[in-house]
Amino acid sequence: GAVVSQHPSWVICKSGTSVKIECRSLDFQATTMFWYRQFPKQSLMLMATSNEGSKATYEQGVEKDKFLINHASLTLSTLTVTSAHPEDSSFYICSARWETQYFGPGTRLLVL
């Protein structure tokens, strides 16, 4: 149990385009999901906390207009990177809370 999926697993896009990443809890309902970013050889940095039916809470320094988060149901949260630039290239990981946080497999984003 407690499986979290992410889609896509990797994406390459041109600078200036927008990319949407989906995070789904497959066998449980999650009122809270989290979005992290991880750069090579670094730890996970929390970007935002996503609560079903309400606005996401962003960490200091994370631009909410650039990283749009939608948590429309108890099993789905989406992260949209708007007007992506090369510096947004990173490994994006979501987690869903059920007793503890269970993580998705991650999405590798490369912006050219």
Partner 1 sequence: SQKIEQNSEALNIQEGKTATLTCNYTNYSPAYLQWYRQDPGRGPVFLLLIRENEKEKRKERLKVTFDTTLKQSLFHITASQPADSATYLCALGQGAQKLVFGQGTRLTINP
Residues that bind partner 1 (CB under 8 A): 2, 4, 6, 32, 34, 42-44, 46, 49, 91, 93, 95, 97, 100-106, 108
> Quick one: tokens of 11?
């994406």
Sorted by sequence, the CB contacts under 8 Å of residue 2 that are 6+ apart come out as 25, 27, 28, 98, 99, 102
- Shortest spacing between CB 78 and partner 1, in angstroms: 17
DSSP of 62-107:
--TTTEEEEEEETTEEEEEE-S--GGG-EEEEEEEEESEEEE---E
Q: Which is nearer to partner 1, 43 or 86 (CB)?
A: 43
Collapse the DSSP code of 23 into the 3-class scheme (helix H, G, I; strand E, B; otherwise coil) and give the result: strand
Q: Which is nearer to partner 1, 44 or 82 (CB)?
A: 44
Q: Which is nearer to partner 1, 11 or 93 (CB)?
A: 93
Q: Which is nearer to partner 1, 28 or 103 (CB)?
A: 103
- Shortest spacing between CB 104 and partner 1, in angstroms: 5
- Shortest spacing between CB 84 and partner 1, in angstroms: 20
